[in-house]
């Protein structure tokens, strides 16, 4: 098993450009796995972890409802935002500057073949990062992501998850609101959930955060949880 992971921080990058890059990496891993099966070989597969931020964009998962986008294309243009239907799970979400978007493109056969565990580890990395800042976050039963004050009228989400998996290779991932402009969430029903709010690390702590510092803490927790070696 190859637990080495190539890490890249892509900075602010167009959503479609990053999606195409993900697809290339994802397809490359699948090709190696297919060759191994056909030729009965054991060539190692690569793993990747991408961090980035996107310009304002809304993405709708394959099981999502387009009605959860509450504005038209003309309004999106006026806010400098775009819209994409994509091949991950989940409903609609927003990405924008000040948000850490993480795309683990992993051959899970190098780690463990358990999608439930994979999602919980992604959530746990964010929960531990928030704990580093003195915040107590949690999971919400039946809903993916990371939340505050679950089960109360003030329940609010700080991190959304939406992944794709094929032959144990993952892509897409999580969106962690750090310094996000939360007004953009007002244009959607986030993740299709009508009765809960969204929040950010900046809002919870009342100050602009050093996003590089947050990324480093988050990466450290991912490394420990998945027992990976960053290259």
pTM, two decimals, is: 0.93
Residue 197 and residue 136 in contact, taking contact as beta carbons nearer than 8 Å: no
Which pLDDT band holds residue 196 (cuts at 50, 70, 90)?
low
Where exactly are the structural domains of the chain? 4-230
Q: Tell me, what's the pLDDT at 193?
A: 54
CA dihedral over 195, 181, 223, 129, signed as positive or negative? negative
Looking at the chain, which runs of residues are DSSP E strands? Answer: 4-12, 48-53, 57-60, 82-85, 92-95, 99-105, 138-140, 143-148, 156-166, 169-177, 197-198, 229-230
Domain 4-230 in this protein, CATH class: alpha beta
Measured from the Cβ of residue 4, the count of other Cβ atoms closer than 10 Å reads: 13
With a cut of 60, say whether residue 179 has pLDDT above it.
yes
If we measure between CA atoms, which residue out of 146, 102, 105 comes closest to residue 126?
Answer: 146
List residues with catalytic annotation: 191
The phi, psi pair for 35, rounded to 5°, reads -65, -40
With a cut of 70, say whether residue 228 has pLDDT above it.
yes
Residue 107 and residue 47 in contact, taking contact as beta carbons nearer than 8 Å: yes
Q: Tell me, what's the pLDDT at 195?
A: 55
Q: Tell me, what's the pLDDT at 191?
A: 54
Measured from the Cβ of residue 47, the count of other Cβ atoms closer than 10 Å reads: 26
Q: How many residues does the chain have?
A: 231
Tell me the per-residue pLDDT of 147-169, one tens digit each, with 9 for 90 and over. Answer: 999 999 999 999 999 899 999 99
Residue linked to tokens 């056909």: 38
C-alpha to C-alpha distance for 167 and 29, rounded to whole angstroms: 10
Tell me the per-residue pLDDT of 10-37, one tens digit each, with 9 for 90 and over. Answer: 999 999 999 999 999 999 999 999 999 9
Tell me the per-residue pLDDT of 71-86, one tens digit each, with 9 for 90 and over. Answer: 887 888 898 999 988 8
Tell me the per-residue pLDDT of 103-135, one tens digit each, with 9 for 90 and over. Answer: 999 999 999 999 999 999 999 999 999 999 999
- Beta bridge partners of residue 209, listed in sequence order: none
Q: Tell me, what's the pLDDT at 91?
A: 79
Q: Tell me, what's the pLDDT at 60?
A: 86
CA 96 to chain centre: 12
Three-state SS at 200: coil
């Amino acid at each position: 098993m190859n637990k080495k992971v190539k890490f890249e921080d892509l900075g602010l990058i167009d959503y479609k450009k990053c999606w195409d890059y993900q697809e290339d990496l994802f397809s490359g891993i699948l090709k190696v796995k297919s060759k191994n099966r056909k030729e009965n070989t054991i060539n190692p597969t690569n793993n990747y972890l991408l961090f980035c931020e996107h310009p304002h964009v809304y993405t709708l998962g394959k099981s999502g409802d387009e009605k959860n986008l509450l504005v038209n294309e003309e309004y999106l243009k006026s806010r400098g935002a775009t819209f994409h239907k994509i091949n991950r799970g989940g409903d609609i979400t927003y990405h924008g500057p000040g948000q850490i978007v993480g795309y683990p493109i992993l051959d899970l056969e190098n780690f463990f073949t358990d999608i439930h565990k994979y999602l919980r580890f992604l959530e746990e990395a964010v929960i531990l990062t928030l704990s580093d800042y003195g915040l107590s976050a949690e999971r919400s039963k039946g809903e993916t992501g990371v939340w505050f004050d679950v089960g109360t009228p003030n329940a609010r989400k700080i991190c959304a998850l939406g992944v794709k998996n094929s032959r144990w290779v993952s892509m897409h991932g999580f969106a962690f609101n750090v310094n996000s402009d939360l007004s953009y969430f007002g244009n959607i029903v986030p993740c299709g959930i009508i009765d809960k709010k969204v929040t950010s690390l900046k809002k919870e702590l009342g100050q602009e955060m050093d996003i590089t510092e947050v990324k480093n803490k988050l990466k450290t927790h991912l490394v420990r949880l998945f027992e990976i070696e960053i290259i």
